[in-house]
Structures are given as C-alpha cells and as structure tokens.
Chain A
Amino acid sequence: MTGVVIFLCAAAVAPLLFIFGNLVAKGASSIDWSFFVKNPVPAGQNGGGVAHAIVGTGIVVGLACAIGLPIGVGAGIFLAEYGSGKLGWTVRFLADVLNGTPSIVVGIFAWTWLVKPAGHFSALAGGAALAVLMIPMLARTTEEMVRLVPNSLREAALALGYPRWRTSLRVIVRTALGGIVTGALVAIARAAGETAPLLFTALGNLNFSTNIFQPMQTLSLQIFVYATGPFEEWHRLAWASALVLMGMVLILSIAARWVTRQRHGAR
C-alpha cells in the first residue's frame, strides 16, 4: 500500500521535474546577460534577447493587477461581510462561472469589446483580459480568507463602537491580509503565464514598447511565436523564454508560500 502511494506521489511530481529539467537542459545555455537586456535581432541572425517581452509581461500583468486587484479583493470582502443575501449569492455564482470560463473565450470577448472598438490591439486590452481572469480567483480566495477570521473579532470591534465598514477594514481585512496576499500572488502567477487571451489583445510586438495603447510583447506570446517559427535560433530563445517565465512563476509561488508561513509563524 505504502509503495502504491509513493509511486502515485512520484507520478504526480514527475511531470513538473521533467518539464523543469527539460527547460533547464534546453534553455539554460541560452540565458546570459544580453538575453535579459537586449531586444530581438532580425530573423535569421544570431543573438539578441527578450528584454521587450520581460518588460512587456511586467506591464501587462501590472495593468491586470491595477484593474483586477481592487475589484477582485473588494468583491471578496463584500461577499464575506455582506454577501448573505440574494446579491451575494448572484455575485458568488457569477464568479464561479467566470472562474471556469476558458481563457480563450475571455480573450475573444476582450477583442470584441476593447480591441475592435479601439481599432487596434493594445497592452491595455491584454491587461483587462487578464484582469477578468484574475477577478473571480481573487474574489473567492479573499472571501475564504475573510471568512476564516473568527466572528468574535468582528463582534469585539463592533462592541468598541467601530462602524461596520471600519471593522471590516481595520480589523477583519488586516487579520486576513496574509491570506489575501497569498491568493493575489497565486492569481498573478497564473495571469503571467496566460497566452490565449493575449493573442487577441496585446497581440505581441517584435520591438521594445512601453506604450500601453499599442501592441506589446509578453514572454508567453514570445514563446508562442518563437516556438512555432521556422528558425533554429528562435527555438533556442523559446526554450530560454520558457525557462524565464517558469522561473518567474516559481518565484511568485515561493513568495506566496513565504507570506503564508510568515502569517502562521508570527504566532
């Protein structure tokens, strides 16, 4: 029995190790300083980097956070503190449906509502599409975390003469903050790796750009373009980009773990 469990555990972990090992094997050799700071060179030539995609990922994910964090966390607090009625039930149901919506569908909608009316692809539309994916995750994890705060603390604050909203912010959210930050980091990690919704929105860009109203490259789009391209040099860079993206997600996951540990360790 123990043997079976060990085998199943190994089977669960094996794909991750295999992927990471493969990425390191194929991508690590291409990663040097210029990979991070240089922009791509014309197709067919050797060298160049993905600075534009790294910066682009930062900007697009940053936009997604700027739009998604206030809405998602705010909705989560609302659901936990005031969400017992019909409105709460509706919001919760919609969030769950949205959470299960394939990301490519979100991309098509972002294209229909943001890209088409504006007449061109843009990083902002990409950020908005990612925000739509982040909001339900953020709302539900925030709700869970706020609900974990014992009701006795809520009552204690109210008995001190705190108004309801102030109780929510000063006592409840502050107590749940570690969990909310963890949830946010997980949502950001997930958004950073999304490709499908960005194909219709941020589109990609072979040049360095920080204009959020214009198309922008991200690491995920870079991998898509380079991996499906005809050049050996591009494949090499795709592997390296994948390794960098994986590294970023890993760092966010570790940060999320660390925040959780801090919260429980503080006691």
Chain B
Amino acid sequence: MAPDNSLVRLETKRLTALFGRTAAVHEASVFFPTNTVTAIIGPSGCGKSTFLRCLNRMHELSEGGWVTGSVLLDGEDIYDSAVNPVVIRRQIGMVFQRPTPFPTMTIYENVAAGLRVNGRLPRADVDMAVERALRQAALWDEVKDRLQGSAVDLSGGQQQRLCIARAVAPRPEVLLLDEPTASLDPAGTLRIEELCIELKQRYTIVIVTHNMQQAARVSDYTAFFYMGKLVEVNRTTSLFTRPKQPQTEAYITGRFG
C-alpha cells in the first residue's frame, strides 16, 4: 500500500513477533500515516494484538516475547540497540481491552501518572495537562468536580476514557488501542469511537478490533491479519468494498471468523 501523499509516522518492516520459537506474526510490513486511524482486524488468535504490542515494545515483556524486523517511528528504528524501550513507551501511548485505572490513585493522579515519570513538574503545568487530557478524552465535564475522587468509582466507559486521558496526557505521537470497547456497552462504545475520530487530529491511531463495523466506522486504513500473516492492507473503503484477497473477502462477508 502506498500512503498517498500523507507523511508516514510509523512503519513496520518485515516485522516478525515470536514467543520462544513460535512466530505469532510473520513478516508484516505496514505504514501508519500521520493523523489517520488504522484498524487491525482479523479472527481471534490471528496475531493482531501481538502485532500492536510490538509497536511500543510491550511484546518483549511477555514471557518469551521477541521480534525480528524493524519498527520505524519518524524514520528511526525503535528496536535499535541504542533505544531505551521505556522512552519509546512514553512516545507511543497504549490503551488496553479492559479499563486499567490505578485503584489507589485519584482521578487526577491517574491522568497525571504518566506526566511525572520525567521528573517533577510545576503544579500548574500538571493541572493544565490533566484538564487538557480529560477534555481530549471527553471526560472533563463528567469528572471536573471530583478530580480527587477514586478512579474505580467511575463507570466502565468512563474508566476507559480515563485511561485514554492518561495515555494522551504526556502528548504521545502515536496512540495504540487494543480492543478498547470490548468490555463496554453500546453507548460507551459509541463515545470511544467518536473519540477516535476526534483524536486523530492530534495523534496517529492504531486500533485493534474484532468488530468489522467498528473498523469501517472509525478507520481510514484497515489491515487484515489471518493466522499471523498480514493478508491485506488498504484504505478502509477499498478493503471493505473491493477486497483483493479471497481470504479478506471471506472474512468481511462473514464466511469465517
């Protein structure tokens, strides 16, 4: 796929992700153009989550996890031996399938959690960053009067938006969403989907989803994975209307998966 005219923020080159000696993703090469949403779809166990976790060096934290190939962020290989994975994770934010607010922290502290890893910041700066992140995550109006309240008292959908706020507070360049609506009700799902489309103004977004309608609603590009292999990647409209591969067609028409 050629990324028509837009800049490429993130790119994988023949990325293979392994657990011990078993490869979960085989030689996947994908572009992620700046300020777009790319959806990763495929049946369970196709390696889509593993692929996502390679993009911010989380995969290597799994038991036996390692990769070959490269992932370029603004042209620099994040797997270069001189690169500190901790720094990469600050540039590439991630939100998980289930909301993961830190239970011992307040709403405010949760959003500020990623800001303080670089050292102390003036209180006013943190206040501003927390408000900005909560506004971006469309949660500010609901929590502005109880920032010191417990994060686990929020509803599931609010907790997930809190996690998005926490991920965007340190102003990452890329936002990775790993089935962010899997544990939410339809209303919560809709909020997150609207948010994706808003957030792409500022970030480059990669979203893993098992829901094809969701991919069609939110994404500009879609990559279809099957059995650990990248089958096809294209503009979302093209992929869903004129799939080039028979496997893609079979999947999106619901013949398997």
Interface residues of A (CB under 8 A from B): 150, 152-153, 155-163, 166, 171, 174-175, 177, 266-267
Q: B102 near A156 (CB under 8 angstroms)?
A: yes
Q: B86 near A153 (CB under 8 angstroms)?
A: no
Of the candidates A161, A174, A266, the one whose C-beta lies within 8 Å of that of B89 is A161
Bound-state Cα–Cα, A158 to B93, Å: 10
Q: Is B170 an interface residue (CB 8 A)?
A: yes
Of the candidates B87, B90, B98, B103, the one whose C-beta lies within 8 Å of that of A160 is B90
Chain B 87-134 interface residues, beta-carbon cutoff 8 Å to A: 87, 89-90, 93-94, 96, 98, 100, 102-104, 113-114, 117
B-side binding surface: helix, strand, loop or mixed?
mixed
With A171-B102, A175-B103, A177-B104 in contact, is A158–B89 under 8 Å at CB? Answer: yes
- Which residue of A155, A156, A158 has the most chain B CB atoms within 10 A of its CB atom? A156
How many residue pairs link A and B with beta carbons under 8 A? The number is 59
With A161-B89, A162-B86, A175-B103 in contact, is A156–B117 under 8 Å at CB? Answer: no
* Size category, B interface: 20 to 34
Q: B100 near A152 (CB under 8 angstroms)?
A: yes
With A175-B103, A175-B104 in contact, is A155–B113 under 8 Å at CB? Answer: no
Q: B103 near A161 (CB under 8 angstroms)?
A: no
Q: B102 near A161 (CB under 8 angstroms)?
A: no
Q: Chain A contacts of B117 at CB under 8 A?
A: 160-163, 166
Q: Chain B contacts of A153 at CB under 8 A?
A: 100, 102-103
Bound-state Cα–Cα, A150 to B100, Å: 9
Q: Is B216 an interface residue (CB 8 A)?
A: no
Q: A159 near B93 (CB under 8 angstroms)?
A: yes
With A155-B58, A155-B61, A266-B150 in contact, is A160–B167 under 8 Å at CB? Answer: yes
Of the candidates B87, B93, B100, B166, the one whose C-beta lies within 8 Å of that of A155 is B100
Bound-state Cα–Cα, A166 to B58, Å: 16
Of the candidates B87, B94, B104, B150, the one whose C-beta lies within 8 Å of that of A159 is B94
Minimum CB–CB distance from B80 to chain A (whole Å) comes to: 17
With A161-B117, A166-B117 in contact, is A156–B89 under 8 Å at CB? Answer: no
Q: Chain A contacts of B89 at CB under 8 A?
A: 158-161
Q: Chain A contacts of B113 at CB under 8 A?
A: 157, 160
Q: Chain A contacts of B150 at CB under 8 A?
A: 266
Q: Is B174 an interface residue (CB 8 A)?
A: no
Q: A161 near B90 (CB under 8 angstroms)?
A: yes
With A163-B86, A166-B117 in contact, is A158–B58 under 8 Å at CB? Answer: yes
Q: Is B152 an interface residue (CB 8 A)?
A: yes
Bound-state Cα–Cα, A18 to B195, Å: 65
Chain A residue with the shortest CB-CB distance to B101: A156
With A162-B117, A267-B152 in contact, is A157–B102 under 8 Å at CB? Answer: yes
Q: A160 near B100 (CB under 8 angstroms)?
A: no
With A152-B96, A152-B98 in contact, is A159–B58 under 8 Å at CB? Answer: yes
